[in-house]
């Protein structure tokens, strides 16, 4: 029977080394937004503090990254267009670095096969890039465009492991829902608690065979 198959993004569908740290983030922010290092450092500190506080509380809603960045700059008398803010995030989070993000081909192939078999494919990602930039990154890394919906937490709202995030992305008249992800805490346990089937992907040795068996592909 057709199912909703929800894929996590990072370390499941897209592999990435650790993101650039605050110092790199600050330098790139200063360069792209043409602000001094002091302003950039204060902005980064404000944004990191707010995001970390939200991520540390399972039930807290994640604030929109663009909104945090905009508010932090305005507080210091700096105003930039949304396009400029997005470009700053794109650079600061390593999206222009050739070796920062790479497609996990075995999981991408499973994603294609699930869609070809008539299952509904969706994405759920705890992230810092807003949705339009996430989609840009997905296209750049070659993620198959076979998903019908995505929930990117940087746009604001509930994030994993909050069950509200799973309920939102799993909405619809499905008899089965499957979560595919690398994290027991963020992906697998909360989905299983809702009665979903789960497939854990080992980022060091990704093998979606269990998903293909589960979906009888």
- pLDDT, tens digit, 9 for 90 and up, residues 126-152: 999 999 999 999 999 999 999 999 999
198: left (phi over 0), alpha (psi -120 to 50) or beta: beta
Task: Give the DSSP letter string of 119-168.
Answer: PEEEEEE--SS-HHHHHHHHHHHT--S-EEEEEEGGGSB--TT-HHHHHH
- C-alpha distances (whole Å) from 202 to each of 4, 147, 181 are 21, 22, 8
What is the 3-class SS of 43-66, one letter each residue? HHHHHHHHHHHHHHCCCCCECCHH
Percent share of the chain, pLDDT over 90: 89
Task: Look up residue 14 and give its two tokens.
Answer: 């897209």
Is 176 exposed, middle or buried, given 0-12, 13-18 or 19+ CB atoms closer than 10 A? middle
Task: Look up residue 212 and give its two tokens.
Answer: 């293909």
Cα separation, 195 vs 163, in Å, equals 11
Is the confidence at residue 210, as pLDDT, over 90?
A: no
Mean pLDDT score across all residues of the chain: 95
Is-above-0.85 flag for pTM?
yes
Q: Where does the pLDDT of residue 188 fall: very low under 50, low under 70, confident under 90, or very high at 90 and above?
A: very high
Per-residue model confidence (pLDDT) at position 20: 83
Q: Where does the pLDDT of residue 19 fall: very low under 50, low under 70, confident under 90, or very high at 90 and above?
A: confident
For residue 13, which of 93, 101, 94 has the smallest C-alpha distance?
101
Cα separation, 80 vs 110, in Å, equals 41
């Amino acid at each position: 029977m057709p199912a909703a198959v929800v894929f996590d993004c990072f370390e499941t569908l897209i592999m990435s080394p650790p993101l650039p740290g605050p110092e790199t983030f600050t330098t790139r922010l200063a360069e792209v937004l043409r602000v001094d290092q002091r302003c950039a450092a204060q902005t980064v500190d404000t944004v990191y503090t707010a995001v970390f506080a939200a991520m540390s509380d399972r039930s807290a809603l994640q604030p929109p990254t663009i909104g945090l960045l905009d508010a932090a700059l305005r507080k210091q008398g700096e105003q930039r267009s949304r396009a400029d803010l997005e470009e700053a995030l794109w650079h600061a989070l390593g999206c222009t670095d050739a070796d920062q993000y790479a497609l996990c081909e075995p999981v991408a192939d499973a994603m294609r096969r699930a869609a070809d078999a008539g299952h509904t494919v969706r994405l759920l990602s705890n992230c810092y890039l807003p949705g339009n930039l996430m989609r840009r990154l997905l296209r750049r890394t070659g993620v198959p465009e076979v998903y019908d919906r995505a929930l990117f937490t940087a746009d604001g709202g509930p994030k994993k492991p909050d069950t509200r995030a799973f309920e939102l992305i799993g909405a619809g008249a499905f008899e089965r829902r499957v979560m595919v992800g690398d994290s027991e805490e963020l992906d697998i346990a909360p989905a299983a608690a809702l009665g979903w089937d789960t497939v854990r992907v080992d980022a060091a040795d990704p093998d979606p065979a269990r998903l293909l068996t589960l979906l009888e592909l």
